[in-house]
């Protein structure tokens, strides 16, 4: 899936900071060093477009070197050398990030984890997996499923994202409601810091109160402190029963009422509560092949509820209770799919939105967290502000307060004007209602100068202290996460 790139020049000119002169330029002697520690096929110097260009095609770096270590010791040798030589590094996993965090900005060396893709062990008795950072999420999940477990997170990019990148960005996705965040599920990490030190924190215990729990600082640090090389992760059991229902709803107020009832009646088996507005369904029908209107009539809002449980009979009884309570009341209409294919079609309606809204023009996407009272209010306010010149769409994981908001501008001449209006309004709204400027996508290059909307000067100063403790030369993923001084 490659999204449209009509205005990439605008975006890169907005977001690209100047090269930091403190970093050295890559010399022939540096190349000789890398050639002395890595065989030729682990050093890539040509055709680097894929490594330099991000997933949505708007962030494009200028790296001339990609290193692909096979072992933690090779990672250590590379980082130790780069720290000494002040060569900047951009760690890269599956390069599926959406905020420009996973590609170089200037000439940073790309440190790709793609060769470190071994699943070391699934411990069936303890319910844990130990693997390298370059394992692809979907493949790992399949291997866990063969042993009766699942990986605790699931997200759209699962076919190409790496679990190391998931940890570095604290990726969340659809099922946080049921299994919790990666802070709740990662038991241990192996990390190489920006000083080239190896931190082996691979404890497999769910209870281990032996000093500061260092791994949490690296979860979500976006490669700015070091590189995650190995992970030990708690695995929930594979559900024996899965159900899905797709609802048409007349008001956002009723969406929230359905959420409340679902938590009450479905209780411990609810695993996803996804929301989308009519605009997102229309965009998907129009731009994505094979997507059809789910109901005969349109509804302003749609809700997808998923359950995952251990007993099909009990789970279906709970779902019946919920539907009896809401259909004809808070929900206008509902589909209970009869087979896997129908389920997939309904999930598809939810999963293709990002692709659909990016097709008809230049697309601004926001990934924010809001309290329920502000959740859809912000979408309506943006729609009123921008008007007919753009398509404003809202959808997301309403069960955990995470809204995806997209504004698609068909005419490129309107892009700059709308961008200015949007950012003015959005960030002051978020500041006012104490929303988060990034729910799950992270800060990266895109949002670094907005960080102070969600974080206080004291918090940012504390983050800098931590950065300085683990990456004193500042070589790890520069120009990302931190605002300009």
**Binding positions for its own copies, 298-337, rule CB under 8 A:** 309-311, 314, 317-318
Burial of 388 (0-12, 13-18, 19+ CB in 10 A): exposed
**Given 3-state DSSP classes, what are the helix, strand and coil percentages for the chain, each rounded to the nearest 5?**
40, 20, 40
Residue nearer to its own copies on the CB measure, 2 or 317: 317
Q: Which stretch binds its own copies (CB under 8 A): 130-138, 330-338, 348-356, 465-473?
A: 465-473
Stretch that binds its own copies, among 59-67, 84-92, 169-177, 406-414 (CB under 8 A): 169-177
Q: How far is the CB of 134 from its own copies (least distance, A)?
A: 21
358 token code pair = 């990016």
**Closest separation between CB of residue 200 and its own copies, Å?**
6
* Cβ-based nearer residue to its own copies, 100 or 294: 100
Q: Which of 266, 344, 269, 274 is nearest to 304 (CA)?
A: 274
Candidates 45, 118, 292, 371: give the one binding its own copies (CB under 8 A).
Answer: 371
Contact string (CB under 8 A) for its own copies, positions 385-424, x = contact? ------------x--xxx----------------------
3-class state of residue 364 by DSSP: strand
CA gap 121, 149 in Å, rounded: 13
Which residues lie below 8 Å from residue 332, measured CB to CB, with a gap of 6+?
A: 247, 248, 249, 250, 299
Residue 164 or 220: which CB sits closer to its own copies? 220
Give me the least distance between CB of 387 and its own copies, in Å please. Answer: 30
Mask for 228-247, x = binds its own copies (CB under 8 A): ---------x--x-------
Task: Specify the 3-state DSSP secondary structure of 472.
Answer: coil
Secondary structure of residue 355 in the 3-state scheme: helix
> Which residues, listed in sequence order, are joined to residue 367 by a DSSP beta bridge?
404
Binding test (CB under 8 A) with its own copies, winner from 216, 287, 348, 389: 216
Out of 5, 8, 263, 389, name the contact with its own copies by CB under 8 A. 263
Contact between 469 and its own copies (CB under 8 A)? yes
Q: Which is nearer to its own copies, 383 or 447 (CB)?
A: 447
Q: Does 209 bind its own copies (CB under 8 A)?
A: yes
| Sequence-ordered strand ranges (E) for 146-300 | 186-193, 198-200, 226-234, 241-249, 270-277
Dihedral sign (CA 267, 173, 464, 14): negative
């Amino acid at each position: 899936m490659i999204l449209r790139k009509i205005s990439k020049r605008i975006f890169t000119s907005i977001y690209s900071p100047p090269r930091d002169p403190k970093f050295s330029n890559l010399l022939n002697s540096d190349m000789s060093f890398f050639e002395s520690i890595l065989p030729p096929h682990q050093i890539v110097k040509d055709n680097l477009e894929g490594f330099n260009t991000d997933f949505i095609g708007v962030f494009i770096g200028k790296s001339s070197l990609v290193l692909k270590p096979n072992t933690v010791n090779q990672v250590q040798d590379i980082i130790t050398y780069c720290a000494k030589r002040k060569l900047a590094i951009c760690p890269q996993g599956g390069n599926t990030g959406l905020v420009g965090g996973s590609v170089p900005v200037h000439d940073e060396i790309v440190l790709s984890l793609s060769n470190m893709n071994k699943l070391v062990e699934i411990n069936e008795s303890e319910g844990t997996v130990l693997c390298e950072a370059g394992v692809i999420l979907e493949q790992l999940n399949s291997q866990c499923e063969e042993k009766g477990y699942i990986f605790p997170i699931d997200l759209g990019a699962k076919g190409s994202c790496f679990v190391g990148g998931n940890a570095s960005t604290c990726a969340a996705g659809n099922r946080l409601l049921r299994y919790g965040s990666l802070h709740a599920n990662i038991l241990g990490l192996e990390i190489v810091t920006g000083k080239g030190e190896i931190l082996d924190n691979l404890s497999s215990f769910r209870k281990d109160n032996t000093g500061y729990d260092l791994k949490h600082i690296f979860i979500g640090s976006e490669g700015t402190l070091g590189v995650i090389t190995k992970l030990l992760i708690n695995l929930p059991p594979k559900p024996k029963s899965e159900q899905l229902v797709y609802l048409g709803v007349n008001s956002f107020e009723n969406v929230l009422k359905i959420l409340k009832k679902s938590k009450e009646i479905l209780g411990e088996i609810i695993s996803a509560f996804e929301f989308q507005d009519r605009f997102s369904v229309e965009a998907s029908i129009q731009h994505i092949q094979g997507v059809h209107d789910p109901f005969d009539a349109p509804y302003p809002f749609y809700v997808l509820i998923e359950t995952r449980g251990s007993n099909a009979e009990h789970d279906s009884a709970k779902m019946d209770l919920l539907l009896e309570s809401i259909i004809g009341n808070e929900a206008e209409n509902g589909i209970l799919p009869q087979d896997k294919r129908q389920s997939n079609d309904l999930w598809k309606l939810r999963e293709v939105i990002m692709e659909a809204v990016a097709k008809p023009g230049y697309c601004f996407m926001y990934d924010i967290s809001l309290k329920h009272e502000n959740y859809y209010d912000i979408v309506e306010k943006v729609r009123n502000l921008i008007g007919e010149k753009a398509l404003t769409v809202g959808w997301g994981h309403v069960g955990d307060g995470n809204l995806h908001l997209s504004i698609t501008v068909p005419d490129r001449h309107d892009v700059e004007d709308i961008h200015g209006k949007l950012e003015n309004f959005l960030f002051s709204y978020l500041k006012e209602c104490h929303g988060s400027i990034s729910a799950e996508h992270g800060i990266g290059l895109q949002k670094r100068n907005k960080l102070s909307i969600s974080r206080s000067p004291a918090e940012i100063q504390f983050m800098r202290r931590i950065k300085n403790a683990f990456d004193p030369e500042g070589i790890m993923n520069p120009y990302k996460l931190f605002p300009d001084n």
